[in-house]
Every structure is written in C-alpha cells, then in structure tokens.
C-alpha cells in the first residue's frame, strides 16, 4: 500500500511543493508519476544500463567495494528539484515523504531474504551539520527507524575531514578529496547498509564502505534516494 492510500484519509489537502496544485501530501500524484526510476540498473552501482548484462562497464572494469547498490530514483527533473528542496529548504514534509518511500524500498529488499545488522547513514562533518542544522541523511531513515528493529548506527563512524563539495570535481579528484575523511571504531556487523541521499560517482560511498569493511564489517550494500548521471562516465 502506498503512502497516499495510507495517509490520505487523515491529512487535509495542501499544495504540492513542486507545482503548487492541491495535493494530499506535499507532492501531488501528477508530479509523483513523473519521477523517473530507470530499470534495469547495474547491480553493483545502480547506474542505469541497457541490454542483458547485470553490471555496467565501469563496474566490470573496476567494481566498488560495496556489493550492491539500490536506489529509488534517477536524479533528474522534478526529483532533482524535490531533493534540493529537501536538502536546502529543510521542508519537513518532503523529508517525511522520502522517508516513507525509502522504507518501502528497504522492505522490498529485506523481504527477499537480505539481512542487515546495521544501517550507517553517510556522516556529515560537524561544520556541515552546524551550517545545515541537521544531518538530512539521518532524517531519511526516520520511518525505517520507527518501523523496524534495525540498528541505525550513527556512532561508529566519524567524519574527521570537512571535504569541499565534490560536485565540481572529476572522479580522481573526488577520490583524493574524500580519502581519509572517515574514522571508524571497530565493529562486528556481518552485513551493513550504507545510506546517502544522492550517489554520483560513488566515491564517497566507496570510501565509507572501505572504512566500514576495514573496521570489521563482513560486507556492505548501499541505498540512496537517487542516482545521478556522472558527467564523467
Ligand atoms: Zn505537483
Ligand atoms: Zn555499475
């Protein structure tokens, strides 16, 4: 059952944050139906692929250290706007909307028999949290946290380096910039799910996965709201 059917009877009409039309929640049906989620995706990095292969060319040549990546959307058009509203305007209703969507995807993953001992949200530096006032990735996990018993581990990994925004950097510069950004305490999870809002080249998540594996975790998968097309691919 979708979020609309669950909640529509309870919540009065408001307007859609994207088009200002009347909506039951903060996104109307029409905008929601325009959100793109390309299938199939590379099993390793969630990049859209065509044909019958399970993996994209990039992963066949040089696979990330995490095993699988799952995502809800392609980072484009209305969904890119909605993610910017969520990240920079801090609209609670958008965070709530995404948090429900992410819970539904999480449920569909674990219903296939995949188990995670812990979820680790991408840690932000203290200065970034001070600037934004909150860690938006943690907010995305609100519904998973309420409705499942999975540990949301926000304490084992610290961000010890405030990196410059990676968006303007090429993949090699990103790898260099993010290197040494995380510090981990020893952990003994068998399987960990790393969560971030948007994955572009995957360099931040790959670095986080390296640190988590080195700290003792058996394996890592990745879950993001959206997968952006890297202009360097
Ligand atoms: Zn709309
Ligand atoms: Zn791939």
Using the mean position of ligand 2's atoms as its centre, give its distance from the Cα of residue 173 in Å: 19
Say which ligand is closest to the CA of 81.
1
Look at the domain 38-227 and name its fold: Rossmann fold (3.40.50)
**pLDDT computed for residue 233 by the predictor:** 46
Using the mean position of ligand 1's atoms as its centre, give its distance from the Cα of residue 41 in Å: 27
Say which ligand is closest to the CA of 26.
1
**pLDDT computed for residue 88 by the predictor:** 85
The 3 state secondary structure assigned to the chain is CCHHHHHCCCCCCEECCCCCCEECCCCCHHHHHCCCCCCCECCCCCCECCCCCCCCHHHHHCCCCCCCEEEEEECCHHHHHHHHHHHHCCCHHHHHHHHHHHHHHHHHHHCCCCCCCEEEECCCCHHHHHHHCCCHHHHHCHHHHHHCCCEECCCCEEECCCCCCHHHCCHHHHHHHHCCCEEECCCCCCEEEEEEEEECCCHHHHHHHHHHHHCCCCEEEEEEEEECCCCCC
Q: Which residues are bridge partners to 195 per DSSP?
A: 121, 223
Using the mean position of ligand 2's atoms as its centre, give its distance from the Cα of residue 30 in Å: 31
Q: Which residues are bridge partners to 226 per DSSP?
A: 73, 198
Using the mean position of ligand 1's atoms as its centre, give its distance from the Cα of residue 18 in Å: 5
**pLDDT computed for residue 12 by the predictor:** 57
User: Which pTM does this prediction carry?
Assistant: 0.90
Q: Which two tokens stand for residue 170?
A: 């090429």
Long-range CB contacts for residues 53-60, cutoff 8 Å, separation at least 24: 58/233
Alpha carbons 152 and 95: distance in angstroms, whole number = 17
Using the mean position of ligand 1's atoms as its centre, give its distance from the Cα of residue 167 in Å: 27
Domain borders along the chain are 1-34, 38-227
Q: Which two tokens stand for residue 20?
A: 């200002």
Alpha carbons 44 and 92: distance in angstroms, whole number = 31
Alpha carbons 136 and 116: distance in angstroms, whole number = 21
pLDDT tens track of the chain, all 233 residues? 556 555 555 555 789 999 999 988 899 999 999 999 998 999 999 999 987 889 999 899 999 999 999 999 999 999 999 999 998 888 889 999 999 999 999 999 999 999 999 999 999 877 777 777 778 899 999 999 999 999 999 999 999 988 887 878 888 888 899 999 999 999 999 999 999 999 998 999 999 999 999 999 999 999 999 999 875 54
Say which ligand is closest to the CA of 97.
1
């Amino acid at each position: 059952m979708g979020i609309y059917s669950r909640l529509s009877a309870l919540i009065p009409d408001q307007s859609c944050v994207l088009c200002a039309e009347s909506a039951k929640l903060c996104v109307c049906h029409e905008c929601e139906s325009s959100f793109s989620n390309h299938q199939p995706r590379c099993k390793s990095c969630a990049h859209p692929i065509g044909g019958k292969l399970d993996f994209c060319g990039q992963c066949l040549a040089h696979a990330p250290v995490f095993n699988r990546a799952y995502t809800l959307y392609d980072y484009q058009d209305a969904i890119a706007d909605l993610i910017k509203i969520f990240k920079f305007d801090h609209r609670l209703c958008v965070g709530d909307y995404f948090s429900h969507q992410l819970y539904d995807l999480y449920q569909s993953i674990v219903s296939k028999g995949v188990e995670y001992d812990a979820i680790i949200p991408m840690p932000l530096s203290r200065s970034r949290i001070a600037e934004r006032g909150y860690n938006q990735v943690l907010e995305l996990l609100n519904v998973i946290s309420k409705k499942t018993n999975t540990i949301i581990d926000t304490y084992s990994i610290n961000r010890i380096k405030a990196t410059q925004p990676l968006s303007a950097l090429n993949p090699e510069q990103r790898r260099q910039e993010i290197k040494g950004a995380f510090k981990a305490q020893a952990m003994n999870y068998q399987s960990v799910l790393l969560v971030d809002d948007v994955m572009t080249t995957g360099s931040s998540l790959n670095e986080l996965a390296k640190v988590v594996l080195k700290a003792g975790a058996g394996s890592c998968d990745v879950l993001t709201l959206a997968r952006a097309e890297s202009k360097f691919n």
